[in-house]
Amino acid sequence: MKRLFLITAALVASLFTLQAQTWVRFGTDNTSSGLPSDEVYDLEFDGQGTLWAATNKGVALLKGGVWTMLQGMQALEGKAANQLFLDKNKNMWLAANEEGLAMRSPQGEWTFYTTESGDLEGGFTQDILEDEKGGYWVADGATLTYIKGAERTHYHPASNPFTTFTTLAIDKAGKVWAGCESGVYYFEGTEWKVLEESNTFGSIQDITTREGDVWIASQNGLQHFDGTRWSTQTTENGLPDNFLTTVMFDAKGRLWVGTDGFGVCHQEGGKWLLIGENEGLHAKDIFDITFSSEGKAHLATHKTGVAYQTESNTWALYSGDGLVGNVCKDIVLSNGGNFWVATTSGISHYDATGKKWKSFTQANGGLIGLNTRRLYLDAKEQLWAAFYDGGVSVYNPTMEMWTNHGVGEGKLPVGTVTDVWVDAEGIAWVTTFSGGLAKYANNKWETIKQEQGLPTNSLLGITPGADGSLWLSSVAGAIQYKGGKFTALTKSEHKLPDDNVRNILFASDGSMYICTNTGLQVRNLTTNEYTNYGASNGFISGYVNHVAFDAKGNRWISCWTEGFYLMTKEGVFYKIGTTEGFTPTDVYMARFNEKGELYVCTNDGIFILKNPDSLVQKLTSTAATLPSHSLIVAPNPASSYTELQGANASEEVRLTTLDGVLLRKIQCDAQGSLRIGLEGITPGTYVLVVGSKAYRLLVSE
């Protein structure tokens, strides 16, 4: 390697269980088993079939298709490793920037070389190689150090003390080459000299030698020395880019180069052949190239993990970091413990058998967007994904590829897709924000908008009804689409807590749960009887996102900013919080798998509760959280005023913005009541702080 990157260390976490309840969390810092990071700097096979990967979160080993973290590294544990090198005795060397140099013997014994031990001087170790005499050259900041036995010789060839040597190579004649950001130096036995021709090369990223030739990947193209003269290849000679990051020969003698943004290419018959997205390689920034004993290329990449050639010469990825993003909006569960997760950074799939994650983004997976709102698995096991920043992507598990549906004539009306559902006939229905309702049949999209009777074009979700109708969540209430006609349940006509409906769910008894911005309505569609739960009766003062139903009739309510609640079949509410080992504040969705295990989508990853019954038993053995909470804020939403009842006598109440700016500070009367005038308060969302508790207040026009 190679390329100079000032990388910082990061901690590597493993699966953990939170206090009190057995929650298991998956997040971007947490993989159970897998590549620890998508930022991979170098790769090296150890001759025993194991692939070593140097990442910004430590060193990982791939054996038998499973990644494990390298242990026993002491101070280097979990720290960034920049370079790997396997010497003639099968010792593996690690160059680890500020942490120095480490060597692991085939027997697993470690030896460390640092500035503190006096072995190194530069304080920024970037590369290492072995010469024919059994000595080792180390690129260490502005210092080039030679280690042989107890001998330590330090050279300072560059006049600039801030020079950083990043790459080393030895040619057939034994000449040592070193590259830095300002050019190339060489050593022929006594002293280091600058290569005068390199003043036009730019920053040096990698050097390799073959026979008597020297090849250099540089900022200004591929530099080649044939033993007599230097020549340069650039985009004018067929390279995809002039900024090259690495250079390597394969077993067939073909020359490969990696680029900064254009994938890799190799030379065949004197011509450069590009391997990029069109060839199935969804990795653009390449740090290193190495080859397995079978001759298959493996690429260390920037932000896309390890890319590798399969047996069929297609390309695949080992993607790190578990979930591709921590803000999880939806989850689809399948048999065997496998599941798909929609995040605001792409889509991740968890393979429970191999305990491996695979992530998809625009860059490395071909998705149409990143901000994933909903997922749906159809009867053909195809995964449909709704993106708020692009459209719809469909994954075919047989072909292992995505098909994208974007915006245009005969396509989707807008790219702000909020939900997707596929009916028994294979027709896909899509809700959009500002573009109305769309359906996909016979390879064509059709749009239904306000002109066709839809109450609003701004839709937030879609739910099938038992009678064959479709229910649409929208900014204008809960809309039913049946027989080509639309009818809406609204705040003014049907007493919804709010017209902004975020989700609609149906319980097994047929009752409808309408999730809104200011509470929850449970409605019997046959009798039109309903019950509202919201801030005015002490339930939730925030947004209700979703309701999940367990086999015993309990309801699990996901809320934005207010966390997670249990509503028992008797209608008693309990807050699930840190006492129960649950820490997130933003909860978007919860689902049960076939075993009754609960999967919860949050702003901090996926939380899994293996035995929800135990939590129900614990909560119901204590006093109910919300019904006993007597403080009432009403009206809410409010316009000119709101009133507070049930506080402590003379308790101080503060009205603030969401970011904590104080607007009002008032004191309750002797009965714990207070009337708060809202004159001059701009419509929006605010916070009422009463003692140690905070309540959301919505101010309307």
pLDDT tens across 162-176, in order? Answer: 889 999 999 999 999
- What is the percent of the chain with per-residue pLDDT over 70, rounded to a whole number? 89
605-609 and 66-69 beta bridge pairing: unpaired
| 22-156: CATH topology | Methylamine Dehydrogenase; Chain H (2.130.10)
Q: How far apart are CA 560 and CA 558, in angstroms?
A: 7
| Position 656 pLDDT exceeds 60 | yes
527: Cβ contacts below 8 Å, ≥ 6 apart = none
**What pLDDT shows up at residue 458?**
97
Domain 631-699 listed as CATH 2.60.40? yes
**What pLDDT shows up at residue 21?**
41
Highest mean pLDDT among 28-32, 271-275, 633-637: 271-275
Q: How far apart are CA 90 and CA 85, in angstroms?
A: 9
Q: How far apart are CA 584 and CA 603, in angstroms?
A: 7
Average pLDDT for residues 344-362, to the nearest whole number? 83
133: Cβ contacts below 8 Å, ≥ 6 apart = 148
Average pLDDT for residues 531-558, to the nearest whole number? 83
Query: Which of 104-118, 252-266, 320-334, 457-471 shows the lowest per-residue confidence on average (mean pLDDT)?
Result: 320-334
**What pLDDT shows up at residue 312?**
66
Q: In what order do the strands lie in the sheet containing 417-422?
A: 417-422, 428-432, 437-441, 444-448
442: Cβ contacts below 8 Å, ≥ 6 apart = none
What stretches of 464-623 show up as alpha helix (H) in DSSP?
491-494, 612-620
Average pLDDT for residues 73-82, to the nearest whole number? 78
The phi and psi torsions of 362 (rounded to 5 degrees) equal -65, -40
**What pLDDT shows up at residue 317?**
65
Q: How far apart are CA 587 and CA 248, in angstroms?
A: 48
- What is the percent of the chain with per-residue pLDDT over 90, rounded to a whole number? 58
**What pLDDT shows up at residue 322?**
67
**What pLDDT shows up at residue 17?**
28
Average pLDDT for residues 61-69, to the nearest whole number? 78
For residue 671, give the nearest of 622, 615, 631, 617 by alpha carbon.
631
Q: Which CATH architecture has domain 317-622?
A: 7 Propeller (2.130)
Query: Which of 55-59, 182-186, 242-246, 447-451 shows the lowest per-residue confidence on average (mean pLDDT)?
Result: 55-59
Per-residue model confidence as pLDDT tens digits over 85-125: 999 999 999 999 889 999 999 999 999 999 999 999 988 99
Q: What is the residue extent of each domain of the chain?
A: 22-156, 234-310, 317-622, 631-699
Average pLDDT for residues 409-434, to the nearest whole number? 96
Decide whether 22-156 matches 317-622 in CATH topology. yes
Average pLDDT for residues 477-504, to the nearest whole number? 95
Average pLDDT for residues 12-39, to the nearest whole number? 49
Q: CA angle, 386 as apex, 381 and 392 as ends, to 5°?
A: 80
Q: What confidence tier does 352 reach under pLDDT thresholds 50, 70, 90?
A: confident
Per-residue model confidence as pLDDT tens digits over 299-317: 998 877 788 887 767 676 6
Q: How far apart are CA 514 and CA 478, in angstroms?
A: 7
| Position 389 pLDDT exceeds 60 | yes
**What pLDDT shows up at residue 533?**
84
Q: 521 with 529: CB under 8 angstroms?
A: no
For residue 697, give the nearest of 561, 582, 535 by alpha carbon.
535
Average pLDDT for residues 648-655, to the nearest whole number? 87
| Position 505 pLDDT exceeds 70 | yes
Q: How far apart are CA 257 and CA 299, in angstroms?
A: 11
AA letter at 275 = I
pTM (2 decimals)? Answer: 0.54
Query: Which of 70-79, 384-393, 504-513 shows the lowest per-residue confidence on average (mean pLDDT)?
Result: 70-79
Residue 322, both tokens: 């578990």
Q: 307 with 299: CB under 8 angstroms?
A: yes
Average pLDDT for residues 688-696, to the nearest whole number? 73
109: Cβ contacts below 8 Å, ≥ 6 apart = none
